Amino acid sequence: MASNKTAQLKKIRDEIWNLGDSSLYKYRKQNKYFPVIGEGDHNAKIIFIGEAPGQKEAETGKPFCGAAGKILDELIEFIGLKRGDVYITNVVKDRPPNNRDPNQVEIDLYSPFLERQIEIIQPEVIATLGRFSTKFILEKFDMPEKNQSITLLHGKVLDAIAKYGPIKIVPLYHPAVALYNANSRKVLEEDFNILRESA
């Protein structure tokens, strides 16, 4: 029988599949895209949170399965873990047209699903990927650092309190930065080492 966590996560999946009042839902249907709910260990210690699915993700329904995803997989392996050991998701679950930033209406519509995913999985560490999800999570937990830039915050381990207990928040650069800037790969590796020590 499916665990309680699996059943609750499946309910979220079903709700997002049928989210007909989202403008991104229309875009999903027109393009025969999938929503990207999240995947990984339902008991993961670490949850990675990105921004929103790109084209490849929307075509497959899998988070981080394109070029940035390849780098994320390598970084996860670099710290001795496998993709299946963690949980990977995004703030917004449908692809915005032309990879534009999600707008506030979309964030307000999709973020309650992310909040429920966090409360079901109960990770010890929330690793945010990029400025967008970092801002969302730091605001959600009303952190004093919420107005600081990712340039200052990346690789820091912040203590926060979730409904289910104490957690760590570790802001990271989005893995896509390593596609355009070779030096950022090194910084990401250093920050992933810090993430490993925090978990």
DSSP string, 118-161: HHHH--SEEEEESHHHHHHHHHHTT-TTTTS-HHHHTT--EEEE
Which of 38, 63, 96, 123 lies at the binding interface for ligand URA (CB under 6 A)? 63
- For residue 198, the Cα-to-chain-centroid distance in whole angstroms is 18
Interface region with ligand URA, contact rule CB under 6 A, candidates 8-16, 46-54, 104-112, 141-149: 46-54
Question: In what helix (H) or strand (E) does residue 16 lie, and over which residues does it extend?
Answer: helix 4-17
Kindly state the smallest distance separating residue 62's Cβ from ligand URA, in Å.
8
Kindly state the smallest distance separating residue 165's Cβ from ligand URA, in Å.
27
Which of 9, 16, 42, 51 lies at the binding interface for ligand URA (CB under 6 A)? 51
Asked whether position 50 contacts ligand URA by CB under 6 A, the answer is yes
Interface region with ligand URA, contact rule CB under 6 A, candidates 11-19, 48-56, 107-115, 158-166: 48-56
Asked whether position 39 contacts ligand URA by CB under 6 A, the answer is no
Which of 25, 34, 48, 64 lies at the binding interface for ligand URA (CB under 6 A)? 64
Asked whether position 53 contacts ligand URA by CB under 6 A, the answer is yes
Measured torsion, CA atoms of residues 174, 180, 181, 182, in degrees rounded to the nearest 10: 100
Kindly state the smallest distance separating residue 93's Cβ from ligand URA, in Å.
10
CA distance 119 to 131: 22
Closer to ligand URA by CB, 37 or 81: give it. Answer: 37
Asked whether position 171 contacts ligand URA by CB under 6 A, the answer is no
Question: In what helix (H) or strand (E) does residue 168 lie, and over which residues does it extend?
Answer: strand 165-172
Residue 106: partners with Cβ closer than 8 Å, 6 or more residues away: 22, 23, 24, 52, 92, 94, 96
Identify the CA nearest to 185 among candidates 199, 175, 195.
175
Closer to ligand URA by CB, 41 or 51: give it. Answer: 51
Applying the rule CB under 6 A, the residues between 81 and 110 that interact with ligand URA are 90
Contact 16/140 with Cβ under 8 angstroms?
no
Under the rule (CB under 6 A), what is the footprint of ligand URA?
36, 50-54, 57, 63-64, 68, 90
